[in-house]
Chain A
Amino acid sequence: MAAPAPHWPSVRGRARADAGPLLLVACVVAVVALLAGATPPLIRSTSDEATRDAVRRAADDAAVRVESDWPDDYGPTGGRLRSPRLADDVAAVGALAEDDLDPGLRAALQSPVTTVSSISLAVTDGSVQRRLQLEYLRGAAGGPAVTWIAGRAPGPADADEFVEVPLNGAPWPMQIGLSETDARVLGAEPGDRIPVQDDQRTPYDVRVSGIFRPVDANDPAWRLAPWLLQPAANRDGLGSTRFGGLLSAESLPDARLAFRADQLRRSVRFDADPDKLTWKSAQALAATVGELKGGSAVSAERGDSLKWATQLDSVLSDLRSQIATATAQAAVLLIAVLAGALLVIGLAAELLTRRRAAALTTARERGASLPGLATELTVESIAVTVPAALLGLGLSVAIVGSASPVWVLPFLAIAVGTGPVSGTLTAARATRDRRTPANRSARRWASRTGQLRRAALDLAVLALAAASLIALRQRGIGSSADGDVGLPAAAPALVALAVALLLVRLLPYGIRAGLRLTLRSRRPLALFAAARAAATSSRVLPAFTLITAIALASFAFTLHTTTARGLSDGAWQTVGADARLTVGSGAARSTAAGPTTAGPTATVAGRVAAAPGVRHVVAARVVENERFIADSTAVTARLVVVDTAAFRRLLGDTPLPGLPDVPGLTATRDGAVPALVRTGDRSLRPGTSFRLPVVTNTSIPLTAVGAAPAIGAGDVVVVDAAAARAAGLASEPDTIWATGPGAAGAIRATAVDGRLTARTDVLADRRTAPLTSGLVHLYLIAAGVLLALGLLGFAVAAAASAPERWETLARLRTLGLRPRDSHRVAAGELLPVLLVTALCGPALGALLARITLGPLELRRLTGQLSDPVTVVPWWVLELVTVGASAAVLVAVVAAEAAVRRRRRLGDVLRAGGG
């Protein structure tokens, strides 16, 4: 059978007559194609940018390091044999490490820098805590270039290159070079001997051979040992200053002899090269790094020499989670926009079908076949939607450089089919020989069948929404970083559709109740409006579209405000105050109690507190990765030793939770030190008794008396400084928290060499992070597009019902209704849907955000320990919804009035009016 040929004049005539609605469909398709086409490539490019950003921020953590034990250097007589080619051996370790690397991983890393580092030695020439650490550096082109401005480069200590040194002999001399800054501060000159000893008071013979000046102070190799160029404060404890002694290839063998094998560490470091990374390559890299570390662990057990260490895999793993979350959230928003757009397309199809119903019926009655009509409508639909989709995709290419058809194609298929299906069904219904049964019970049966069919459809939508919500809450949403999304990502849209459907089913009852009220009132306009609203309330799609779109827009905007608040809260949690200064070694372990004199940190805290713009300051001891024992199980957590009163005042000046439990820190129970605890696995919880082992092989008993405030990532135990001291725990502060607008500036002004973390900087960093920034923009774009779609749908629905409204108003005018009153009746007819939307749309959006916030894993983007608090901007939502709806209502009524003015009222007297 030949395919039905379109009747081209009919196709052209219909298109000309309905150019407006068709143009509207084209606009919606173009905008959605632009958004849906641009989002996947934007996600890809943002993921690439996020990968580079994460690796750049991770810096040291992203570096790949390999260490190698020294081979035995025992000589024939039992002493230690000098190895004059030791520098070459060290270089060989670097070459070996490079060979060991997977080519893909090697390509993503910078040139290696090989280092040999001694332990930190105490300079014993005075009361100031001065430390000296010896370093040998070798970059890709040898060591970082230096100019010897005094003396000469370090040379061998002995003329005999292969000398064998007895094991318990005098300290073996070694020559070092000092930078001119280090030499000036130390007061050292070429030929001087620097008196140093290790922590066991073993002396070392270190001699200055020369003073150097770096050729390029920015050479990456210097970053590994910056103390070689200038003294570094607090590296070896608060108040300490570390100097660096540069070893040369000639003096390195002497350093090897001077130190035990465990006092001199040789390592090779490969910094990651962020510019060479993409998200895709990083995913492959994560697996390679994992294999490298796994192989390293095995070879370490076997005693092989190379031991690889890096946090790059964990950096990439965190990134993978973030990207998976961001991708899934983008999919959630995109599905919401597509759902809204499809509903508007459905309304436009309904409008077209209403406008064409008479023409289609006539065509059918004149013998046009249904396949023929369907073909004509499909041709028209393709001619409108496909170019619009191509335009949208083209704009996507022009704006973001690429376009993905993945989301566009299914949307386009539905958009192409909706109009023709609706039109063909109308034509079919108009001419089918199905008459209303004369028998009342048969009519009732037919009515019940229709109701059951609708109920079954409603139940199917509800079941699908419930299934998607359960899947979302059970499986979470960020399970795949590959962009694969399933039912969970559709949950917000489906739940919005389901609840909107329920509301739309209930709406007629509400309107009828309103109609009954107006019948008892003396306000004829209200009665006419209610009567019209009741007459049109059986039309599901307009209210369904508006409520769904506004709910999803509110959902997207609530995610935006929640993320903004979450980022702020996350910054508070990360820093713990407006600014934090960390001095000294954060890895310092707990020790037995010492004297309780005010240390330098307390002095610095005092200076900060006295600065303008600072409200509260507290100094604390923070020990990372402290081990506690609870029920014979080791628990690793951050230990914070702090003055309770000051801490309470500080917390009271922040939005951080946990303040109510702080006073409990000072109430000692049964000799146990009270502690506030927070552990992710709840291994420590209020009421738990646990112990803190200290280096003297004793332990301090603790009792958890409350929940610790959320400060920093991971588990935390907070104890009172006085209680800890009384229990025998030293707590010299190494961290200062300060609140107030001038906190960061005040700490900076102290010029103390430590790590300053300002809350505003953390917040700015997180806000501008590619994934977060991209998603926040997407929230706003999605909210805006959904709001526009909802209002557009409302306008289209109003246009579809305009002829009936015109007829009714015209008839009412023949009964004496004034023209201006007819505008009010028209507005009143459209008002119930807007009222329900204004009341229920934002509430539904807020509810959606509330029930999906956990599974959406916003915390991964906000940097919080737990899900952010849902922030529903009620005023904004209501103002925007009510304001925009009212504006559209006024515009629709005004436009209809303008159209009505051009038509003669007398037309209504002609058959059928209208």
Chain B
Amino acid sequence: MENLQLLLPEIFLSLSIMFLLILGVFKKNSSKLIQNLSLIILIITAVVTFNETIGISNTKLFNDSIIIDYFSSLMKIITLLAAFLVLIISSNYLKTFQIFKIEYPILILSSVLGMMIMINSNDLIVFYMGLELQSLALYVLATFNRDQIKSSEAGLKYFVLSALSSGLLLYGCSLIYGFTGSTNFNVIANQLNSNEYALTFGIVFILVGLSFKISAVPFHMWAPDVYEGSPTSVTLFFTMVPKIAALTVFIRFLYVPFLNLIDQWQMILIFLSIASMLFGAVAAIGQTNLKRLVAYSSIGHVGYALAGVAAGSNDGIQSSVIYITIYVIMNLGLFSCLLMLKRNNQYYEKIDDLSGLSKNHPMLSLSLLIILFSLAGIPPLAGFFAKFYVFKAVIEQSMYFLAIVGLMSTVVAAFYYLRLIKIMYFDEQKEKYDTDHGFWLKFSLTASTLLILIYFIFPSQLIEVFSRINIIQ
């Protein structure tokens, strides 16, 4: 147990959650206090993670069921920072709907704790435990605006479908356990016998469960409804944070125990990737609600991230992680814009509400323009580089079909991003929106836009950070 300090971030976070719960119960009207404390806790946890674990290479704890390495530490830090930003920009939104309650930050913290456990896991059971912890918190978050029927519907839908996928996932785990005699990733890797077709079934079941969590086609059905129904700030959380964790597990699960079966699962991943990219692009075209559109766009972006995973090389993994990081930044900017579309205490989320935005709010629409072009992957914005790295990794493995289909679907996807730009810039203006946004909302919009815009000047730094990830030894 001499390595217990490596788990300090998780221990600290769980103790803080309990403390916050007690504090919330005993102190009246403490929602603002708890919100601020949660923010501090997230930052401290990130700092502790950075200090304690970033330099550690490949250390396993608790009978090898937990792994601490550069990859897991980095992903934890990204998760924590993303959660911090979500929390900090959502307070005004919650206040408008009068759901600014103590549970909100606490639920986010617990879900983050679950994700950290997922990211650390080197064992099917630990992984499942983390997954369920984060999902349970997310069910409640989806229904957080409980007076609205759509929010309740979203939560219920998410719960039912997610439970189903968890069931499939567990079934896959038990199959794998049955054929290898262990739930530990490394032991499984040693016990692999590629003639066992049932093992492949196990992998498929687990992949289905994981695809559900990151909303890859064909397991995406919940995403548009849940994204639309949930409160916008929760949607923001949904589109960013769980995806980081789930993608990490995706990578860890495929590359540690099942690297030798790459021929079996690579086809599945290529299919998931192509289907998500194409479906995300095509289905978004007909949408009229911005949140639904974002849902389809996030399905498409997951497809690109999976393309990197499908490449089967360290370059591919790195590119996929870079992709999801840049995507998180773009999404943050996009949602900051959505949260600014507010007039008379009401938020607007129809596409037509953007009409003529550029005349009334030139800076807001300019930022949105940059973010949308970046999401569409037009150089020299950051979104282009994200795609560029992914396709570089993919082409290095001679997977031309995947690369060409992926790039073709960016053209289709460009259409609906352009449509938004067209509505903002070419259409007639409507009433003005409020401009008295909170500092942090403005900050996150400005920061993410600037990062996207000037990324091309310093592309090396980000790559350097991620180039130390090497899962395949």
Instruction: Note whether A and B form a binding pair.
Output: no
